[in-house]
Structure 1
Amino acid sequence: MSDDLYGLAMTVLHPGFEGTSTPDWLRRALGEGLGGVVLFARNAIDERLVRQFRAENPDVVVAIDEEGGTVTRLEVTDGSSFPGNRALGVVDDVELTEQVGRQIGRMLADLDITLNYAPSADVNANPANPVIGVRSFGPTPELVSRHTVAYIDGVQGAGVAACAKHFPGHGDTVTDSHLALPTVHASREVLFERDLPPFRAAIEAGVRVVMSGHLLVPALDPAVPATLSRTVMTEILRDELGFDGMLTTDAIEMRAVAALAAPGEIVVRALNAGVDAICAGLCDEDGLREMRDAIVAAVRAGTLPEERLAEAAARVRAVSAWYAAQEPLRRQAHDDVDEDAGLRAARRALTTSGTAALGRGPLVVEINTRFSKAVDPATPTGITAALTALLPDTARVQMEAEGELPPFDDRPVVLVVHDAARHPWVRETVAKALALRPDVIVVDTGVPAPPDGATHVATHGISRVSAQAAAEWLLT
């Protein structure tokens, strides 16, 4: 038995943390060989912070969710400079998707971030999906596959590792795995024809990392979520699809798995299933030590083979080594600045009906559809800000979910909604507004449901550039 079981255990643990500087417990853990750190918007990410990590452990895998669009950690205050996957899928130009991926990769490379937990390779087969939606490139495996590959090529072409998620596919669910355990009811045949092709394409394209989805998929394993299933993680992903890179969990504090057992047990079960890295987005020193000690105890008790733990640690180190070898690509990407890539994509992604030529500031009514837990709560739709930049007399009213419309005066009215296709009450609110004011303009930042006869703008996602593109159209 290895004398360094604690070191192996620390290598496979990748926690997040609170605060805007490296806490003492995290510094100590990095010095002890902690394999990864996960960054969130709450950390106020900059080069200084990442340098603090690397001063303690130069080989640490620094990871982040920077999908573009709805999910951004670096640009949460003003919104992303890049539209999300759905918008890119609507445009369906793989060269443009690769350009966007490269610019996101360049942004991460400049911060010395190793790994982007993106793209979402999920096929959004269910329009009622509450957590994927516009994070997916679209509803068909062919579309999602080609854009998944293009995005990976862009990010990894900038010298940053990409991650295809959420295996074996989170697109056909009606439950948010942050809140409860979703079930995918499709047959094995449907899963292999619809959900798995984007992951197969990602693997063939050389993606460095795959993230597991906290999903119950009875056709593959009726007993446990995919993250904890050796059938799904090893027999299918490794043996059938041929993936030999690092396999990471989605965050283990998500209720889909957190409700099943204590963190230490979840970690050991995931490692036994074939996972290599444990993402623990909400963590502190006690939680980290608890997980480390559970891994070591399981190896000593014979319930987790030491060879499996060593294999997992080696795959984490392989991602770090790959990243180190990409330094020439990162230097090249640093000089390959394309500041307009995101806005070009956002403009091309707009789908519109009717006409609009706002000549004065409108009343913007923001219907506050609650975003999924994957979206930072500070993320703005940006429509009001974009309109105000062009028309300073723009006014704004926020309407809470299923609330009452404000009174309208003679100003133009712009109704901002999100995922109207998924929310009957949103569609009912739009209908009420149109009954009062047939000239109401509807802007949908999610999966849209255009009302008959109304001027309608669909951005297919939330980002600063999507809002700017919509505002520009509304004034022309």
Structure 2
Amino acid sequence: MSPAPNVDAVLLPGFRGTTLPDWVADRLRNGLAGVCLYGENVESDGQLRSLTWQIRQANPDAIIAIDEEGGDVTRVHYVDGSPYPGAALLGRVDDVDETARVGRSVADVLSWIGVDLNLAPVADVNSDPRNPVIGVRSFGADPALVARHVAAFTRAHEAVGVATSVKHFPGHGATSADSHLALPVVDVSLDELRQRDLPPFRAAIEAGARTVMTSHILVPQVDPDNPATFSSRILGELLRGELGFDGVIVTDALDMVGASGGIGIPAAAARALAAGCDLLCLGTGGSAAQLDAIADAVGSGVEPARLAEAAARVARLVGSLRGDRSEPVSGPVAPGADRMIAAFEIAPGAVPAPDALLVVVETVANIAVGDAPWGPPEIAGIPLLRIAAGDPLPADLAADAPLVLIAKDVHRHPEVAALAEVVRASRPGSIVVDMGWPSGPVEVATYGGSVGVGAVLLHWLDAVGWRG
């Protein structure tokens, strides 16, 4: 009988720093499947290319994965902010050719850097506007719209040679909790799941997605006992059986509370593998000791045949990643400013006073987004004030001075919503701009918070007579 594969052959850890740690290089040389890069691993394009070269030197077959969704969630542009519009705004433009152009542009950049697996696109249908973790990462709230744009983004990536990981199966859009911090529950029937949440995943699979990422959510009417990542019912019967997916099933990061809370990462890894996952994304801050603990847990809790099956699927993925790649054809692209502005939601008469001050209200970003820059870019000659949510406006600001108050997801932050009401009531000529997913009274909703969308917002302000 053949010996069981090395458990490292199905692991995708993260690490600290902007150079390759010795422990990761050692594991790569001995069969580690690859690594997942995060914002903390990035300081410049040149440094990122150097890092991927170091990884390839240790293991030419290593999978290098990253989250580059083309909008608010960015890793490549973590230092300066993303130039792309993001899924929700693309969904409102609703031109699949534009979505494909953006997808191709993102893939070109990843290919140039040396990344071969993009943990994107988001196929979740954002059916709950209170959703604290999906929101503008989704193409929209209509399953058919989401499906056609997910397919366009996927095809564009796969055509370049960069694999996609469509996420978060079977759908994270109806949650009001963040699986980084808790275990969300989506209490819907299988029929509703099929009608609302599964169509975008089916479309992505038909478009050639080579991997699908799981979600750490509980769907009790489908499997009352196991989150999707640990559910053979959801992964085996739904994803493999009903949707016919035969590629690699990737876990969402196992350091999230929705997966490892209360049991730890090693036990979560064993449960995910036993349920049918093939490639285990471990999250940030890994270590050799963590990988050793996972190997022990898998050795005692997973059948060797299941491990061998997962390792074989990962090996097939690696083989497919080593084919010819298309040459990059462009830098960052986006729909024209006028098309994006037409997709903004702008209340009638929403024009700020010409001298209104831009005030950006910083709220705590969800873990998926992190601390990447967002909103209007810093431009010489344009006064821009940033304050933390809950902080008062500066005392030296005139009591009736008009403001352009800019925030994300105003309705989800009571202190921001309260400030918005005060500004409207006491400062004539003010407007409130929501650069998240709106649900409540705002004058302008951009459906995206990236720096690229922030630049388009400045273009609109200039067009309506604002001078700052």
Relative to the length of structure 2, the TM-score reads 0.92
The alpha-carbon distance between structure 1 residues 142 and 421, as it changes in their structure 2 partners (threshold 3 A), is farther
Per-residue displacement from partner, 1:411-441 (whole Å, max 9, x unpaired)?
5411011112434443332111110013112
3-state SS in 2 of match to 1:341: coil
2:383 corresponding residue in structure 1: 394
Q: 1:366 aligns with which of 352, 360, 364?
A: 360
1:3 corresponding residue in structure 2: 3
Q: Which piece of structure 1 moves more, 345-354 or 138-147? A: 345-354
3-state SS in 2 of match to 1:5: coil
Tell me if structure 2 keeps the 8 A contact 1:342–1:465: no
1:404 and 2:392 matched:
yes
- 1:303-342 to structure 2, matched below 5 A, reads 303-325=301-323, 327-329=324-326, 331=327, 334=328, 336-337=329-330, 339-341=332-334
- 1:213-362 to structure 2, matched below 5 A, reads 213-282=215-284, 283-295=286-298, 297-298=299-300, 303-325=301-323, 327-329=324-326, 331=327, 334=328, 336-337=329-330, 339-341=332-334, 344=337, 346-353=340-347, 354-356=349-351, 359-360=354-355, 362=356
State the one-letter code of the partner of 1:461: G
1:15 corresponding residue in structure 2: 13
Tell me if structure 1 keeps the 8 A contact 2:127–2:174: yes
Tell me if structure 2 keeps the 8 A contact 1:82–1:346: no
* TM-superposed deviation, 1:381: 2.3
Q: Which piece of structure 1 moves more, 439-448 or 345-354? A: 345-354
* TM-superposed deviation, 1:61: 0.7
* TM-superposed deviation, 1:348: 4.9
Structural RMSD (CA) = 1.9
Structure 1 unpaired stretches of 5+: none
The alpha-carbon distance between structure 1 residues 376 and 468, as it changes in their structure 2 partners (threshold 3 A), is same
* TM-superposed deviation, 1:286: 0.8
The alpha-carbon distance between structure 1 residues 272 and 200, as it changes in their structure 2 partners (threshold 3 A), is same
* TM-superposed deviation, 1:190: 0.8
* TM-superposed deviation, 1:338: 5.0
- 1:12-411 to structure 2, matched below 5 A, reads 12-44=10-42, 46-282=48-284, 283-295=286-298, 297-298=299-300, 303-325=301-323, 327-329=324-326, 331=327, 334=328, 336-337=329-330, 339-341=332-334, 344=337, 346-353=340-347, 354-356=349-351, 359-360=354-355, 362-377=356-371, 379-383=372-376, 385-386=377-378, 388-389=379-380, 392-401=381-390, 403-406=391-394, 408-409=397-398
Q: 2:426 aligns with which of 420, 425, 436?
A: 436
Q: How many residues of Structure 1 are paired with residues of Structure 2 in the alignment?
A: 454
Tell me if structure 1 keeps the 8 A contact 2:375–2:435: no
Per-residue displacement from partner, 1:139-177 (whole Å, max 9, x unpaired)?
111111011101101111221001110001001111100
* TM-superposed deviation, 1:229: 0.7
Counterpart CA distance in 2 for 1:357 and 1:366 is: 15
* TM-superposed deviation, 1:342: 5.6
Per-residue displacement from partner, 1:385-432 (whole Å, max 9, x unpaired)?
35x34xx1514140424x434454265411011112434443332111
Per-residue displacement from partner, 1:434-469 (whole Å, max 9, x unpaired)?
1001311222110124637xxx33221111210000
Counterpart CA distance in 2 for 1:404 and 1:411 is: 14
1:416 and 2:414 matched:
no
Tell me if structure 2 keeps the 8 A contact 1:457–1:470: no
Tell me if structure 2 keeps the 8 A contact 1:382–1:467: yes
State the one-letter code of the partner of 2:429: D
Structure 2 unpaired stretches of 5+: 464-468
Counterpart CA distance in 1 for 2:382 and 2:255 is: 44
Counterpart CA distance in 2 for 1:160 and 1:149 is: 14
3-state SS in 2 of match to 1:319: helix
Counterpart CA distance in 2 for 1:116 and 1:351 is: 30
Q: Which piece of structure 1 moves more, 100-109 or 75-84? A: 75-84
3-state SS in 2 of match to 1:37: strand
Per-residue displacement from partner, 1:287-320 (whole Å, max 9, x unpaired)?
112112322x22xxxx422221111111112221
* TM-superposed deviation, 1:268: 1.4
Q: 1:466 aligns with which of 425, 442, 453?
A: 453
State the one-letter code of the partner of 2:159: G
Tell me if structure 1 keeps the 8 A contact 2:162–2:321: yes
* TM-superposed deviation, 1:278: 0.5
Counterpart CA distance in 2 for 1:155 and 1:218 is: 34
Counterpart CA distance in 2 for 1:363 and 1:321 is: 54
Tell me if structure 2 keeps the 8 A contact 1:78–1:382: no
Counterpart CA distance in 2 for 1:347 and 1:439 is: 20
Q: 2:436 aligns with which of 431, 438, 446?
A: 446
The alpha-carbon distance between structure 1 residues 340 and 5, as it changes in their structure 2 partners (threshold 3 A), is closer
* TM-superposed deviation, 1:4: 5.1
Counterpart CA distance in 2 for 1:256 and 1:374 is: 14
Counterpart CA distance in 1 for 2:30 and 2:341 is: 48
3-state SS in 1 of match to 2:165: strand
* TM-superposed deviation, 1:370: 2.1
The alpha-carbon distance between structure 1 residues 202 and 152, as it changes in their structure 2 partners (threshold 3 A), is same
Q: Which piece of structure 1 moves more, 464-473 or 344-353? A: 344-353
* TM-superposed deviation, 1:187: 1.5
Tell me if structure 2 keeps the 8 A contact 1:356–1:473: no
Relative to the length of structure 1, the TM-score reads 0.91
Counterpart CA distance in 2 for 1:129 and 1:423 is: 13
Per-residue displacement from partner, 1:174-209 (whole Å, max 9, x unpaired)?
110000100001122111110111111111111101
Counterpart CA distance in 1 for 2:382 and 2:230 is: 54
State the one-letter code of the partner of 1:153: R
State the one-letter code of the partner of 2:438: P
State the one-letter code of the partner of 2:457: A
Counterpart CA distance in 2 for 1:114 and 1:339 is: 18
State the one-letter code of the partner of 2:250: T
Counterpart CA distance in 1 for 2:340 and 2:119 is: 22
